[in-house]
Every structure is written in structure tokens, then in C-alpha cells.
Structure 1
Amino acid sequence: MKERRHAREKAFQGLYQIDINKDVTLENLYEAIDEDVDEYAKKIIKGVVEHRVEIDQAIDDKLEKWSFSRIATVEKTVLRIAVYELMFEDEVPNKVAVNEAVELAKRFNEDQSGKFINGVLSKFMKE
């Protein structure tokens, strides 16, 4: 499990870079990812990039009194990873995807961020 958590952290870092630095390519990111977690991190990055429009729309559909464009980059990146896992990774239990997203948000931002992530992702669990 720690390998997957580490892979999610690497994927977060890579996807965050893509969001803030438009010159970053997937190849640059893949080269920077550790060998021991590269496959799952690459799978997440590739999946989020390929399905970004669909993922962003799914997130936007769940927001109440908030718009997707107002979400900070950290939270947006965490949500994209979690929603990718919820929508496209059958081997990851939904509760695990949500819990890991909350922990990721807390690690890279603050507790309030984790609460926001949990609130948004809980709406995906009701489907």
C-alpha cells in the first residue's frame, strides 16, 4: 500500500507541474519519477491527462456554490487523481481512493483542504 501512496504523491507532483508549467511534457515527468513506483504513477498521470476534460466536468457537476475555476491548484490536482481512480480504476476501492485523496490534500496543503476534498468526493460515493 505504501508503494501506491508514494505513486500517488509522485503523480500529484507531476500533475501539479503540468498545471502550473505549460512547458512540462509527459516525457519530462516520466523521467523524474522514481523507478520503484513508476508504473502506477505513470498510469495515473497518463489517465488524468487523457481524461482531463471528462474528469473536470465530473468534478464541476458535484460542486455546490462553487465553480471549478475557483478551486486552488493543489485541491484541483488531488481531486483529479481521486476522480480518475473512482471513474477508471476498478482495482482501487472507492473508499481507498477517497481516503488517499484526503491524506494527499493534508500532506500538500492543510486539514481544511482535506475536508473540502472529502466533501466533494463524498458526492461521488452516493452514485
Structure 2
Amino acid sequence: MKRHAAREKAFQILFQLDMNEFDPAKTTEEYVDSEDTDEFLRMLVQGVRDHKAEIDSTISGHMEKWSLARIATVERTILRIATYEITYLDDIPVNVSINEAVELANTYGDHKSGKFVNGVLSRITRK
């Protein structure tokens, strides 16, 4: 599975987990066949779940005039994945993580989602 497809699957899984509390490993297995389960996909889902409090704190600290609770689940989930990648995965260039997040936001969000996600992630990477 290519990383873009893994990110998209991770988004779908984490979106569901955010809407309803499920076991991440079980939910991951329900979305992909066991022989096709990608290690990057597992790492994204488990990493976001394991570091959710730190990730949410990072996102909240870089938003202007918004709270995490006010953000739609689509944007919140995408921001969590990208922030996890930026913060915890050194082998992925920051611009790749941002571009992938913006692409997901443009696909699954509304017409302003991509710009919003890009703006928040740009502030996070400026540190």
C-alpha cells in the first residue's frame, strides 16, 4: 500500500474512532484485509491514538480564534495525522506531510478545509 492510500485509510479509521470509541487494532483490521495491512497505516492509527493528548495540545496552541472542539471532525482528524507525522516521524519531510494533509482536506472537507489545514500546519512547523 502506498503512503497516500495508507494516510487515507488512517483518516477513515481515525474519523470513525473519533465519532465512536472503538479498539484501534480491531477497527484497523475491519478496514483492511489482514494480508494487506500496511505497517505505515498501523503506525499512523496507533501513533495518533497513543499521542492524542500531546497532538491536540500542539494543534490548540497554534490556532487563532478557534478551539479544537469547534473544528469539524474531518479537519480535526487530518490535523492530528499530519501533526503526528511532523512531530514523531523524522523520515517524512514536513512539506510532504502538509501537502498530503491539504489534499485529504480538499477531498473530504469543504471548499475552505485545505486552506485552514495548511494555515494551522504552517504555524505548527514555524515553532
> TM bucket by the smaller chain?
over 0.9
User: 2:27 maps to which residue?
Assistant: 29
1:39-50 matched pairs, under 5 angstroms:
39-50=39-50
TM-score by length of 2: 0.93
Q: Secondary structure at the match of 2:112?
A: helix
* RMSD of aligned residue pairs (Cα, Å): 1.3
The runs of at least 4 consecutive aligned structure 1 residues that moved more than 3 Å come to: 34-37
- 8 Å Cα contact 1:62-1:123 kept in structure 2: yes
TM-score (norm 1): 0.93
The equivalent of 1:121 in structure 2 is 121
User: Deviations for 1:27-74, whole angstroms, at most 9, x for unmatched residues?
Assistant: 322212244452111100000000000000000000111111101100
Q: Which runs of 5+ in 2 are unaligned?
A: none
Q: Secondary structure at the match of 2:7?
A: helix
Which residue matches 2:5? 6
- What is the Cα deviation at residue 124 of structure 1? 1.7
SS at match of 2:61: helix
Which structure 1 residue ranges, 5 or more long, are not aligned? none
* Percent identical: 49
Count of residues in correspondence between the two structures: 125
2:63 is matched with 63
Moved more, 107-116 or 48-57: 107-116
Of Structure 1 and Structure 2, the greater helix share is in 1
Residue type at the aligned position of 2:3: R
Does structure 2 conserve the Cα–Cα contact (< 8 Å) formed by 1:102 and 1:117?
Answer: yes
| Alpha-carbon distance, 1:102 to partner | 0.2
